[in-house]
Amino acid sequence: MAKVEAYKYFDPRRLKRLKNMTFVARFLVEGFISGLHRSPHKGFSVEFAEYRKYIVGDDVRRIDWKVYQKTKRLFVKEYQEETNLRCYILLDVSASMGYGTGGVTKLEYVSYLAGAVAYLMTKQRDSVGLVLFSDGIELFIPPKSSPLRLRQILVELEKVRPTRKTNVASAFHAMAARIKRRGLILVLSDLYDDPEIVLRALQHFRHRRHEVLVFHVLDHAEIDFPFDGLVSFRDMETRDSVQVYPRYLRNEYRKKLENFIRTYQKRCSDSDIEYLQIDTATPYDTLLASYLAKRSKLG
């Protein structure tokens, strides 16, 4: 793969630990480039799939002569074709993603993740595209397997800024209708929307046979709620504000957040959607290395 220039969301030093890792699809995929992933199309390729009767015109090199010696019948071997994956990175750029307390906002954190995943996909000759969404689709770069597409994604990530209100479901339904061939849908978002509506939209992707992976990204302060004293909280999307004493709300807040996360965990699991809740306090390369190692073991 060609050398990638310096970009904010591409750090070769931190990606070294990922150099021997791959992002293999869990489900069958369709594509044209020989790659890492199993295809629903059978051809003359790497992994044996099954026998079928010989038909005049078949390549005689595929005849299993050992079977012929035993049965006196001609059978040919069919193989499971391995092919490339189309990955769509759906990145939330709504206003709430601009929140951050640990030196990096949620939007910056997911941008680092998006850059790393785009690099991995390109390195393993898979197609990768980028979708920016808030209350609709802000940008759509179709998947392609080339260093030029990686550079285009990295350039666009440099321009990303938090924008408008969130309407996750609307953006997901629009993309589900737009994507014709199945692939991997990677969602990077804080999912601050009605979970029932969001989950129905995620199921729309599954209905179209896409593999769906949700990275639910929250700032560490959103999880821990460490605030004390009289604090003024402002909604980053509506700009409404309220002053409260956090110590009186901490337990109730944590309970509601736990229910919010548990709803996504359970319903995603029920729909065969992979869900991972992420704390921005975890370095993105550490997170990705751990996740890919686990994914590899689970097959």
| Token duo for residue 110 | 């997911």
* Judgement on whether residues 166 and 70 belong to the same structural domain of the protein: no
Task: Name the amino acid, one letter, at 223.
Answer: I
* Judgement on whether residues 128 and 45 belong to the same structural domain of the protein: no
* Judgement on whether residues 264 and 117 belong to the same structural domain of the protein: yes
* Judgement on whether residues 23 and 168 belong to the same structural domain of the protein: yes
Residue 85: what pLDDT? 86
Residue 108 lies in a domain: yes
* Judgement on whether residues 143 and 173 belong to the same structural domain of the protein: yes
Whole-number average pLDDT of the chain: 85
Q: Find the CATH number of the domain harbouring 261.
A: 3.40.50.410
* Judgement on whether residues 133 and 215 belong to the same structural domain of the protein: yes
Number of domains within the chain? 2
* Judgement on whether residues 132 and 102 belong to the same structural domain of the protein: yes
Residue 2 lies in a domain: no
* Judgement on whether residues 48 and 170 belong to the same structural domain of the protein: no
First to last CA, the chain: 26
Task: Spell out the long-range contacts of 71-79 with Cβ–Cβ below 8 A and sequence spacing 24 or more.
Answer: 75/51, 76/51, 76/52, 77/48, 77/51, 78/42, 78/43, 78/48, 78/49, 78/50, 78/51, 78/52, 79/42, 79/43, 79/44, 79/45, 79/46, 79/47, 79/48, 79/49
Rounded Cα distance, 11 and 4, in Å: 10
DSSP letter string over 234-298? Answer: E-TTT--EEEE-GGGTHHHHHHHHHHHHHHHHHHHHHTT-EEEEEETTS-HHHHHHHHHHHHHHH
* 109 in Cβ contact with 284 (< 8 Å): yes
| Token duo for residue 68 | 């012929």
Residue 30 has pLDDT above 50, yes or no: no
Phi, psi of 245 (to 5 degrees): -100, 105
User: Rg (Cα) of the chain, in Å, rounded?
Assistant: 23
Rounded Cα distance, 65 and 47, in Å: 19
Tell me which residue of 147, 148, 129 sits closest to 139, measured CA to CA. Answer: 129
Domain membership of residue 210 as a residue range = 12-27+85-298
Residue 4 has pLDDT above 70, yes or no: no
* Judgement on whether residues 230 and 282 belong to the same structural domain of the protein: yes
* Residue in the structure block whose two tokens are 């931190």: 14
Rounded Cα distance, 149 and 130, in Å: 10
Average pLDDT value for residue range 189-199: 95
Residue 6 lies in a domain: no
* Judgement on whether residues 89 and 226 belong to the same structural domain of the protein: yes
Residue 4 lies in a domain: no
Residue 286 has pLDDT above 50, yes or no: yes
* Judgement on whether residues 89 and 142 belong to the same structural domain of the protein: yes
Instruction: State the DSSP H helix or E strand holding residue 133, giving kind and residue range, or none if neither.
Output: strand 127-133
Phi, psi of 150 (to 5 degrees): -60, -45
Residue 43: what pLDDT? 44
Query: Bridge partners of 275?
Result: 214
* Judgement on whether residues 215 and 236 belong to the same structural domain of the protein: yes
Residue 22: what pLDDT? 81
Residue 7 lies in a domain: no
Residue 94 lies in a domain: yes
Residue 32 lies in a domain: no
Residue 98 lies in a domain: yes
Residue 38: what pLDDT? 47
DSSP letter string over 167-236? Answer: -HHHHHHHHHHH--S--EEEEEE---S-HHHHHHHHHHHHHTT-EEEEEEEE-HHHHH----SSEEEE-T
For the chain, the farthest-separated pair of C-alpha atoms sits apart, in whole angstroms, at 87
pLDDT, one tens digit per residue, over 129-185 is 999 999 899 999 999 888 899 999 999 999 999 987 888 999 999 999 999 888 999
Residue 238: what pLDDT? 78
pLDDT, one tens digit per residue, over 112-133 is 999 999 999 998 888 999 999 9
